[in-house]
A = this chain, B = another copy of it.
């Protein structure tokens, strides 16, 4: 990892997902690694931080998550739009060279046997909380965030800095058919006055 990557306090980890970015999900099991894109990932709790993610039964990544019991949710950048779309529209089942063809480089984080995608703006290492009923009926998985990191050029002191960072580091927000939006300008709403 480059020196820009720094740990994020667990009680601030929800902020990495709070604005609704499209994410990449990665996992490794029995020597197989896969990465997929997911627009349906969402914060679920603050502290300990939890999240939900929808993993379709047809994806290879889902089986790796179920097998390993751990996975990574990471936030791709504008510079990775083609990568995100590629891993979201090809399956490792059909294309064994999926990750190489998509330009995915996997990196390590000390102390975690997990495949992290290089070049993202934030990474959340998660432990799957088994919920067989909702996994089966809704393809919905619950994870507890056990560690988090971010690129200090765009997230530091517990907050995103999209308004001042390199625009290539902004988050992606997928709609459909290869059509993404990039996160935009900031708005600050002042606190409400105390009622009289």
Contact = CB atoms under 8 A, between A and B. Distances in A.
Interface of A: 15, 18-22, 39-45, 50, 52, 54, 78, 81-82, 84-86, 89-90, 95, 131, 133-134, 138-140, 142, 159-160, 162, 170, 172-176, 178-192, 195
Which 3 A-B pairs give the minimum distances between C-beta atoms? A20-B20, A184-B184, A19-B173
Given A42-B52, A170-B184, A159 B138 contact: no
Given A39-B43, A44-B140, A138-B45, A160 B178 contact: no
B178 A186 contact: no
Contact of A185 (B41, B54, B95, B182): B182
Copies of this protein in the complex: 2
A181 B160 contact: yes
A187 B81 contact: yes
A181 B41 contact: no
A55 B52 CA distance: 14
Q: Which residue, A90, A133, A184, has most C-beta atoms of chain B within 10 A?
A: A184
